[in-house]
Amino acid sequence: MRNLSLVLIAIFAFFVYTSVFVINEGTRGIVIQFGKVKRDVDNSTVVHEPGIHFKWPFIETVRILDARVQTMDDEADRFVTSEKKDLIVDSYVKWRIESFETFYLKTGGDTMRAEALLKKKINNGLRSEFGSRTIAEIVSGERDELMQEALKETAESAADLGIQIVDIRVKRINLPSEVSNYIFARMRSERHAVAKEHRSEGREKAEFIKADIDKKVTIMLADAERNVRTVRGQGDAEAAKIYADTYNKDPEFYKFLRSLDAYRASFNNKGDVLIVKPDSDFFKYLKETGK
């Protein structure tokens, strides 16, 4: 009798152990009965919330699925713009399970398989959005619009997997080396063209300024020459007046002064040679001085 009681207790404990299952916080459970997802009387999938639950042993099995928001952050992919230029895009996706039955039936409850299928759908959405825009549009300000459109397009296809796309974000956009070299070469060519234009404009302005300065210098030299001639003429007139006044007052003294000027002009340079007769009137005042 005692042995029978122990057997019954063991059977009961085993029954309880195989019948009770616990769903932890952040997860959900679905029951598989005879290879099919268990449904309630309303033909809706039975999804077990966190807590303690019961199932029929050997008949029903429980699959635990992560109900939290997942982050898929894979390697960067190459996309082509409308200009047929390649971009290296690094992005990430936030997703979670929306329909546990659909998710299980499509992926077998395997998260890795789900992300592999999801990545294809997301890449198709991003490829479509990048392919309809130029590099300038993508970089200059349409990134938010691009992500919203990709999110909208991907959300529809991800629903087939029982997945809800929470968010799609582009972290970084790089250019392949060959595209970068092409863009830098074009920018360098444009800068050279601008610099050449500026240098040409500078030379043109320099020639204009130089011509203007030369014109002003010519005018200043002409004015100076005119002033010199005017002053010289005034000086000559003043000198002639002085000579005339001197001659009127004392003709002999005037002749003496004129002779001194002639002597000074004749003997100004030591290399000058003067051939005259000794009794010439040119030495008149020298002779009278030597008496």
Phi, psi of 279 (to 5 degrees): -90, 15
Q: What is the pLDDT of residues 74-131, one digit of tens each?
A: 777 888 888 787 788 888 888 898 888 888 888 888 888 888 888 888 888 888 877 8
Q: What is the pLDDT of residues 154-188, one digit of tens each?
A: 887 788 888 888 888 887 877 777 666 777 777 88
Phi, psi of 62 (to 5 degrees): -110, 135
Which runs of consecutive H residues, i.e. helices, occur in 65-141? 100-107, 111-131, 135-140
Phi, psi of 42 (to 5 degrees): -90, 10
pLDDT band at 132 (very low <50, low <70, confident <90, very high): confident
The residue written with tokens 């920018």 in the block is: 187
pLDDT band at 290 (very low <50, low <70, confident <90, very high): very low
What pTM was computed for the model? 0.53
Bridge partners (DSSP) of residue 186 are: none
Apex CA 209: angle with CA 203 and CA 212, to 5°? 140
